[in-house]
Amino acid sequence: MLDIIDVHKTFFKGEVNEKKALSGVSFKLEHGDFVTVIGGNGAGKSTLLNCVAGVHIPESGKIILEDQDITNTPEYLRAGRIARVFQDPLRGTAASMTLEENLVMALKRGQKRGFRKAIKEKERQLFRERLAVLNLGLENRLKDKVGLLSGGQRQALTLLMATLQKPKLLLLDEHTAALDPQTANKVMELTQWLVKEFKLTTLMVTHNMEQALKYGNRIIMMDDGSIILDLRDDKKEKLTVGKLMEHFAKTGKGSLNNDRMLLSKWANAC
Ligand SMILES: Nc1ncnc2c1ncn2[C@@H]1O[C@H](COP(=O)(O)OP(=O)(O)OP(=O)(O)O)[C@@H](O)[C@H]1O
Ligand SMILES: [Mg+2]
């Protein structure tokens, strides 16, 4: 359903600080694939997601979504089909708007904006149902401003908003990295539930190797702008953190010790 063909992306091309972020990345996603993406700092993980989302346009290669070439399609025209959640809980929601105002915007994602109509009771019912799944009591706080929520509650809401209108593709870029370990687990459980319930095709970048092994049916390891490992199903099941490190030591050029990998180890030890 998503076909990435030999994608190259260079920042500051021709300048002294030229940086090749993606060097010929190719892979195909099947419908319902839940792929975890790992790699060290600067490996090109976010750039890859940004190229898929249309934030960056690659200088060569192709990106095909459901038989349509979207390589040069602007980001706003992809937004109806591609949903994304970032690391920063403050990015996905509008703090000064209420929960239901945020949710109604998510429901209308990708549609032409007309005059804002009043929120219908049927929509409110849907929001309450979905929020109840989070088990955070948010279903009774539809009229509260989002700015009043904690980081974890806000990230859970962002995830719910991203999937309210089923996207063709869900992109998650370290969406639990800014949360404490317990809240991160809750948000991961919600992610797992949403992916399964709505059969979402998902690309999830994580700095956490255990998380990358636990979730999804496929794992991709990136290093220095390239894919150096791509395993699915039973091959992925057999992987361990040790084997991942071993593979990286043999094949990788950069360092797998991502700042956030180190930080999460430190946080878990405390
Ligand atoms: N907008 C940009 N402008 C210039 N250089 C960029 C930009 N985005 C990324 N880069 C560079 O491209 C390389 C790949 O960065 P990218 O953010 O994709 O890495 P990453 O794998 O997501 O790393 P991290 O784990 O630190 O998030 C890095 O050298 C980075 O500095
Ligand atoms: Mg990144």
pLDDT for 30 equals: 96
- Give, using CA atoms, the residue closest to atom 27 of ligand 1: 41
C-alpha–C-alpha distance, residues 246 and 161, integer Å: 38
Residue 207 has what DSSP assignment?
S
- What is the residue with the minimal CA distance to atom 11 of ligand 1? 21
Residue 259 CA to ligand 1 center (angstroms) comes to 13
Say if ligand 1 is within 6 A of residue 41 CB: yes
Q: Where are the domains of the chain?
A: 2-95+150-269
Beta strands in 152-214 (DSSP E): 169-173, 201-205
DSSP code of residue 145: B
Give the position, in ligand 1's atom list, of the atom nearest the Cα of 258. Answer: 25
- Does the predicted model carry a pTM greater than 0.75? yes
The alpha-carbon radius of gyration of the chain (Å, integer) is 19
Atom of ligand 1 nearest to the CA of 48: 18
Task: Tell which residue, 265, 263, 53, has the closest CA to residue 178.
Answer: 263
Q: How far is CA 94 from CA 35, 39, 53, 203, 248, in A?
A: 28, 31, 20, 24, 40
SS3 1: coil
Q: What are the tokens at 199?
A: 């059969």
CB 93 within 8 A of CB 154: yes
Per-residue pLDDT 10s for the chain (270 aa) are: 999 999 999 999 999 999 999 999 999 999 999 999 999 999 999 999 999 999 999 999 999 999 999 999 999 999 889 999 998 888 889 999 999 999 999 988 767 665 556 788 999 999 999 999 888 889 999 999 999 999 989 999 999 999 999 999 999 999 999 888 888 888 999 999 999 999 999 999 999 999 999 999 999 999 999 999 999 999 999 999 999 989 888 888 877 766 556 555 544 544
Span 2-95+150-269: which CATH code? 3.40.50.300
Find the 42 Cα to ligand 1 centroid distance in Å.
5
Provide the pLDDT for residue 135. 85
Ligand 1 within 6 A of 46 CB? Answer: yes
